[in-house]
Amino acid sequence: MLTLISELSRAAAQALRAAYENNPAIPDELLVQAPARQEFGDFQVASCLQLARPLGKKPRDLAQVVKEALKAHPAVEKAEVAGPGYVNLHLRSSWLEKKVAGLLSDPRLGLPRSGTGHRVVVDFSSPNVAKPMHIAHIRSTIIGDAMQRVLRALDHEVVSDNHLGDWGTQFGKLIVAYRRWLDKEAYARAPIVELVRLYQKFVEEDHAEAVALGIVKPDRRAEGEGEAEGEEKETRKVAPTPLLSEARAELVKLQQGDVDNLFLWREFVAVSMKEFEKSYQRLGVRFDVQLGESYYNPRLPSLVEELLARGIAEASQGAAVCHVEGEPAPLLIRKGDGSFLYGTTDLATIEHRVKTWDPARILYVVDGRQQMHFRQVFAVARKMGFTCELLHVWFGTMRFRDPDTGDWGTGSTRKGNVPLLEEFLNEALRHAEAVAREQNAELSETEVQEVARVVGLGAVKYNDLCRDRQGDVNFDVDQAMSLKGNTATYIQYAYARIRSIGRKAGAAGGTAPLRLGLPAERALARKLLDYPGAVLRVGQSARPHHLTEYLYDLAGVLSTFYNDVPVLKAEAEIRASRLVLLETVARTLKHGLDLLGIEVLERM
Ligand code: ARG
């Protein structure tokens, strides 16, 4: 199903092509936009002005051709050439009224089932075990969840998978630290906090040892592309310290199935999962499967052998590597000491996903610093013969204010100054609670708590979704909860206001016939028809900000409507029609926010 705008855009382009011998200067679609002023009509085409020169024609002659073509569309009541070569379109009120009435009776609000039969795996969140889920993981969780919701709404069959980092090099260090320095009481109270402390303690002790032994080189560690989040590079040292050697030995023992180490590892995974679950519950995020890296471990040795045998990998100084054209470095899949890597696991994961689900597409919602990693993995997967579409849905860095210096920064797990996700959410909720009390003194205590929860979580999520994901994000609590501007709070408020009008109007309303007489009513109706297009764009581009932009615009058109048009004071039939229109807007706002994982409030 095409939206009205794209139907008109294509019809206009086709008419010009037919008239001007398929001239390649004519695009597939001409831009159809809302006009600058309402009296110009519902839509305007301005492209004839730009196309005149390459076609060697007068703009108004082109406009004439477009006008004749668009006049024939059933939605168009009147088309006219205006000014130097614009085409202004006026929609048939009856057409608009019928369309909007159709939306109200459609629980999908016009969304097409474009994804039917098209299975998608969404790999997202994927935090690392024995480390807390900190603020940087929130982006993957929020964007990934929005993607799975949007894709499901378009009727894709979605398999969401939390690819937990439960098999990394951190376990050797943790096992050593746990045996040496565990504070049992602290661990009983807050296991993850204690594990993080142990990990940091290991890093400090290792560094101190290295300094004492004179084996540290000046710190040339830089946060490079392809570095897994939180993974420590050991390029600083010329040789490992005895402590680090011990950790490596414990890791090898673990990987070889040592019973005691496996026992500890299971314990670390269990306490971490419990903690992650709390965050997912709070955020309303769920996964179809949660297959961590460890799940693929048994497959790694044979996979590497197969890749070597097929000539996809080659031996290099005891290690195994896959060369990838155009990349500065090969993908290392087995180290000289026989251990396997992040990328080896990712190859086994693709194989498993293809065998199990045969998806058309796999989305990886992962930090932009891993771009090279995914380019390499995807290239090797192609050589292995996997044909499904592989897409790295990458995003920029989340920055927050350093409480000491006031500067924006990303923090570092190593230094332990990254806010934990839970603390970060608590802070947002506290802020929202204060705002709720201030805004509405009539709310009961239970209502204040509910408003704080919905507004606080909404602000955090929306802040992350409302701009192109590839940019960096500074999280500013005040700005994220502002009642003005492009925020979840503004849109939630727009929804609650419609609900409040509905309550004042009483039970009446329902299915009264629509009358779209005034420009502000028509503008609102037209905007409602754009909803499916916005959702489709998110599904195709994996960029949720197309939906936030739409919702923000819709809320803006709504506020113009309130300025221009009385609702409760209008004469009975008109009032009923306007209530129906508002009801459709409310449903669209709620539906759209839900696709972003954001709740609404009936009053706030
Ligand atoms: N655990 C990894 C990290 O925190 C992210 C994993 C992403 N998914 C994947 N299939 N590599 O950096």
Residue 103 pLDDT class (50, 70, 90 cuts): very high
Give the residue-averaged pLDDT of 387-392.
Answer: 98
Percent of the chain with pLDDT over 90: 76
357, HSE (Cβ side, Cα atoms, 13 Å) = 23
Most confident of 56-65, 409-418, 503-512: 56-65
Q: What is the pLDDT of residue 416?
A: 54
Q: What is the pLDDT of residue 230?
A: 40
Q: What is the pLDDT of residue 220?
A: 44
More confidently predicted of 509 and 122: 122
Let me know if 129 is exposed, middle or buried by CB neighbors in 10 A (0-12, 13-18, 19+).
buried
Q: What is the pLDDT of residue 227?
A: 36
Would the pLDDT of 579 be above 90?
yes
| Cα 121 to ligand 1 centre (Å) | 14
Would the pLDDT of 222 be above 60?
no
Q: What is the pLDDT of residue 397?
A: 85
Query: Rounded to an integer, what distance in angstroms lies between the CA atom of residue 603 and that of residue 493?
Result: 8
Residue 579 contacts residue 517 (beta carbons within 8 Å): no
| Cα 363 to ligand 1 centre (Å) | 12
Q: What is the pLDDT of residue 439?
A: 85
Give the residue-averaged pLDDT of 534-538.
Answer: 97
Q: Which atom of ligand 1 is nearest to the CA of 370?
A: 12
Whole-number average pLDDT of the chain: 90
Q: Is 413 in the pocket of ligand 1 (CB under 6 A)?
A: no
For 413, the enclosing helix (H) or strand (E) is none
Q: Which residues 6+ apart lie within 8 Å of 378 measured at CB?
A: 390, 392
Structure token digits, residue 424: 């970060």
Please state the length of the chain: 604
| Cα 473 to ligand 1 centre (Å) | 20
Would the pLDDT of 377 be above 70?
yes
pLDDT in tens, 47-73: 999 999 999 999 999 999 999 999 999
3-state SS assignment for residue 206: helix
Q: What is the pLDDT of residue 137?
A: 83
| Cα 306 to ligand 1 centre (Å) | 24
Give the residue-averaged pLDDT of 263-282.
Answer: 94
Give the residue-averaged pLDDT of 30-50.
Answer: 90
Residue 132 contacts residue 173 (beta carbons within 8 Å): no
Query: Rounded to an integer, what distance in angstroms lies between the CA atom of residue 261 and that of residue 175?
Result: 7
Structure token digits, residue 314: 């080659």
Q: What is the pLDDT of residue 506?
A: 85
Query: Rounded to an integer, what distance in angstroms lies between the CA atom of residue 288 and that of residue 144?
Result: 13
Buried b / exposed e across 382-416, counting CB within 10 Å, b at 16+? eebebebebebbbbbbbbbeeeeeeeeeebebeee
Residue 584 contacts residue 509 (beta carbons within 8 Å): no
pLDDT in tens, 459-484: 999 999 999 999 888 877 778 778 78
Cα–Cα–Cα angle for 288, 290, 294, rounded to 5 degrees = 155
Q: Is 121 in the pocket of ligand 1 (CB under 6 A)?
A: no
Residue 237 pLDDT class (50, 70, 90 cuts): low
Distance of CA 465 to the CA centre of its chain: 6
Residue 576 pLDDT class (50, 70, 90 cuts): very high
Q: Whose CA is nearest to atom 11 of ligand 1?
A: 346
Lowest mean pLDDT among 110-119, 293-302, 423-432: 423-432
Q: What is the pLDDT of residue 508?
A: 56
